[in-house]
Structure 1
Amino acid sequence: MTLKINTKYPSVTDLRLRAQKKIPKFAFEYLDGGCNEDVNLYRNTSELRDVQLKPNYLKNHSGASLKTSLFGIKYDAPFGIAPVGLQGLMWPNSPEILAKAAFKHNIPFILSTVTTTSIERACELTEGKAWFQLYHPTEDTLRDDIIKRAEAAHCPVLVILCDVPTFGFRPRDIRNGLAMPPKMSAKNILQILGKPHWALETLKHGQPSFETLKPYMPKGLDLRQLGKFMDQTFSGRLNEEKIKPIRDMWKGKLVLKGVASEHDTQEAIRLGLDGIIVSNHGGRQLDAGQSTIKPLKTIAEKYGDKIEVMMDSGLRSGPDVARSLASGAKFTFLGRSFMYGVSALGKKGGDHTISLLKTELQQVMEQLNCEKTEDFPNFLINQ
């Protein structure tokens, strides 16, 4: 096997440990943490890793291909880069680094409304292939303007988010005074001084800000005013009344992210959506909720022929992608893994992490004797 990766960091765990050393504590804790006591954060990965696969060693094998078709587009791997807020806070210019890497490797990159590059820039870097995730605005005029911008930038897929009716209770972020930009307490300043590479890159690229939202934000907001602006501008609670106008307006593929139940899957189908992402926001919203792998199996079995079923939350490796695909996901997305990569290795981090995941997944397919990604369910051990 030829490894096209930095061999000092041959796992996402290695990247996470390196990232922890490279970025300020408040930024790392924002990236790494869940909500409340982190129960569902750990449940996501631990229960996913309970999934077991069986190899067929004596079956004829003509090679394994990672290529996967989704919404009529053939991607080079069955995984993409999930939307992450405040990316430039964790590593300066990281959304652009990741968008470029996704384009190079022909996988989807999803831009969050509340990350630190604009719709237009992400689509420029990906030649109109970036997906866009919309936090639902309270005002219809703002909603329509953002959607028109995504359409003008040639985004092929619009993702709407249903799992943030309220912001998750995250003790670390509360202690750290995390906002955008972060509250500059003496403790946070000391953390920044201890990470000179991060500080220099931040100086080089400038203070991170919500680039997509800049046209709608009053100038000169202080931290308290910024928080009030965000609360007044966005409402994460979706329902049929809010989804229908988006479906009518958006002519591309429309995906509902944050699905965790059969009920919401049925509603997505009824309202004419093209896909769902089974997700619990990376364990950052409901600590008492299920892991994503639990509802995925039932949803994929019952509704996989009616709507494209995808998954994120809890995936950290190529074997995790394999477990998800075997459990019925058509496609997968990872968030933290890519942010660990870019925080650890800077501008090389996106390329490294994608190459690492591809290498791991290819090895799993060769080991199982699995030739196509859609064949993974044939190797699932029912438990």
Structure 2
Amino acid sequence: MPVITEIEDLKRIYRRRVPKMFYDYCESGSWTEQTFRENSSDFDLIRLRQRVAVNMDGRTTASQMIGQDVSMPVALAPVGMTGMQHADGEILAAQAAEAFGVPFTLSTMSICSIEDVAAATTKPFWFQLYVMRDQEFLEGIIQRAKDAKCSALVLTLDLQVLGQRHKDLKNGLSAPPKPTLKNMLNLSTKWGWGMEMLRTDKREFRNIVGHAKGVGDVSSLMDWTAQQFDPRLDWDKVAQIKEMWGGKLILKGILDAEDARRAADLGCDAIIVSNHGGRQLDGALSSIRVLPEILEAVGDRMEVHLDSGIRSGQDVLKAIAMGARGVYIGRAFIYGLGAMGREGVTKALEVIHKELDVSMALCGYRDVKDLDRKCLLIGPEFARYQQMA
């Protein structure tokens, strides 16, 4: 067993173990991938202020996200097709998150269904919703999330139209993989992954197949999804969904201060500053770069969370110190899942937690809730982009 000390270690194992199309699905962005790259590299523009001779005994990373106790202010982000990265992937990731004490968010486009995950866990998880044209399906999946006792709805706003991801198109991405010669040659080198997939019956989008009208198999599913993401989603529709859900609501995909104010006016519990991991609008600013502007716009009217680009505990520290109440990891936990299953997700969380704890201590803080901008050194290059009047 290799020694795992950083997320990059898990990524190397993940790349060797998982079929190319699913690795590329995770590890890519839209168009030129500029935003995908800068989500991570912009964290490097923020330095940390070291402090010494401070009593570091009794440190804690415990916090809360939307009123829920968490062992550290980190949640597992919704990631589509997680069950193709490892057999029963959503179930394993949810179990690892529950044991570690952090929230797990199940994607609408998951392989394991809401009911599959609920049956395999003992505590409520969060459910991420894509708004589809099919109103009957939309109402049905919200009710299914209620029936499963999901404790928050994460409504994604930035996928009304699908950003182009070159690698997915070139790979012919599908779940399960299409039996083309190219795919079969690659799959023939991934025996461990293949044997695990053969042992599960969960190899298609189980939140949709059998639940959406006219979708009974993979071929009908692909036609349905190609037409279903609703480009008409607007703030009135968001308000309708909020009323329909009736519980904690988090809006994902906020990247502009004006949109953040609209979310606050609507009375949402939290927003996630996110550019969909660089997978939608290429050329958009990184999440960490726009976070200060959004925090200034909404103040303490609701919680502000962040995703896109988190790969380490230091990234978590920087986002929290800047003012975010929580962050989400997507690719980081997928690396662990694809590499080692549930154990790998746990290892990813352990790596991030340890780096957060140690870095927090070296910055002179004992409690993650006390982190503030005093521990950050932010140069002028970080704020070099400004919106034109």
| Superposition TM-score tier, normalisation by shorter sequence | over 0.9
- Shift of the alpha carbon at 1:113? 0.3
Aligned to 2:13, the other structure's residue is in SS state: helix
- Shift of the alpha carbon at 1:237? 5.0
CA contact (8 A) 2:93 2:104 kept: yes
User: Normalization by structure 2: what TM-score?
Assistant: 0.93
Aligned to 1:205, the other structure's residue is in SS state: coil
Partner Cα separation in structure 2 for residue 76 and residue 7 of structure 1: 26
Q: Which residue of 1 aligns with 2:315?
A: 320
Q: Which residue of 2 aligns with 1:89?
A: 84
Q: Which residue of 2 aligns with 1:106?
A: 101
Unaligned runs of 5+ in 2: 380-389
Q: Which residue of 2 aligns with 1:167?
A: 162
CA contact (8 A) 1:134 1:159 kept: yes
Partner Cα separation in structure 2 for residue 345 and residue 152 of structure 1: 31
Partner Cα separation in structure 2 for residue 180 and residue 30 of structure 1: 12
CA contact (8 A) 2:204 2:218 kept: no
AA paired with 1:100?
Q
Partner Cα separation in structure 2 for residue 168 and residue 90 of structure 1: 21
Q: In the alignment, which of 74, 80, 94 is matched to residue 75 of structure 2?
A: 80
Describe the superposition over 1:92-119 as per-residue Cα deviations: whole angstroms up to 9, x where unpaired. 1111110000110110000000011111
Aligned to 1:165, the other structure's residue is in SS state: coil
- Shift of the alpha carbon at 1:59? 3.4
CA contact (8 A) 2:260 2:297 kept: no
User: Normalization by structure 1: what TM-score?
Assistant: 0.94
Q: Which residue of 2 aligns with 1:59?
A: 54
What's the RMSD between the two structures over aligned residues? 1.6
Q: Which residue of 2 aligns with 1:265?
A: 260
CA contact (8 A) 1:128 1:156 kept: no
Please tell me whether residue 10 in structure 1 is matched to residue 13 in structure 2.
Answer: no
- Residues 130-139 or 60-69, more deviating: 60-69
Partner Cα separation in structure 2 for residue 284 and residue 361 of structure 1: 27
Q: Which residue of 2 aligns with 1:379?
A: 375
Partner Cα separation in structure 2 for residue 302 and residue 207 of structure 1: 43
Query: Residues 249 and 176 from structure 1, CA distance in 2 versus in 1: closer, same or farther, beyond 3 angstroms?
Result: same
- Residues 200-209 or 160-169, more deviating: 200-209
- Residues 123-132 or 28-37, more deviating: 123-132
Aligned residues, how many?
Answer: 377
Partner Cα separation in structure 2 for residue 220 and residue 142 of structure 1: 14
Partner Cα separation in structure 1 for residue 378 and residue 188 of structure 2: 51
Q: Which residue of 2 aligns with 1:332?
A: 327
- Shift of the alpha carbon at 1:55? 2.3
Describe the superposition over 1:13-38 as per-residue Cα deviations: whole angstroms up to 9, x where unpaired. 11111111001111111111111121
Partner Cα separation in structure 2 for residue 208 and residue 328 of structure 1: 40
Describe the superposition over 1:186-214 as per-residue Cα deviations: whole angstroms up to 9, x where unpaired. 01000000110011011111351111112
Query: Residues 161 and 266 from structure 1, CA distance in 2 versus in 1: closer, same or farther, beyond 3 angstroms?
Result: same
Please tell me whether residue 301 in structure 1 is matched to residue 289 in structure 2.
Answer: no
Q: In the alignment, which of 41, 45, 49 is matched to residue 50 of structure 1?
A: 45
Q: How does 1:1-383 map to 2 (within 5 A)?
A: 8-206=3-201, 208-217=203-212, 218=214, 220-223=216-219, 225-235=220-230, 238-377=233-372, 378-383=374-379
Describe the superposition over 1:34-88 as per-residue Cα deviations: whole angstroms up to 9, x where unpaired. 1112111111000022111212213344432110112222111110100000111
AA paired with 1:77?
M
Partner Cα separation in structure 2 for residue 351 and residue 117 of structure 1: 19
Partner Cα separation in structure 2 for residue 57 and residue 375 of structure 1: 17
AA paired with 1:108?
P
Aligned to 2:252, the other structure's residue is in SS state: strand
Partner Cα separation in structure 1 for residue 29 and residue 215 of structure 2: 32
Percent sequence identity over matched residues? 34
Partner Cα separation in structure 2 for residue 296 and residue 18 of structure 1: 32
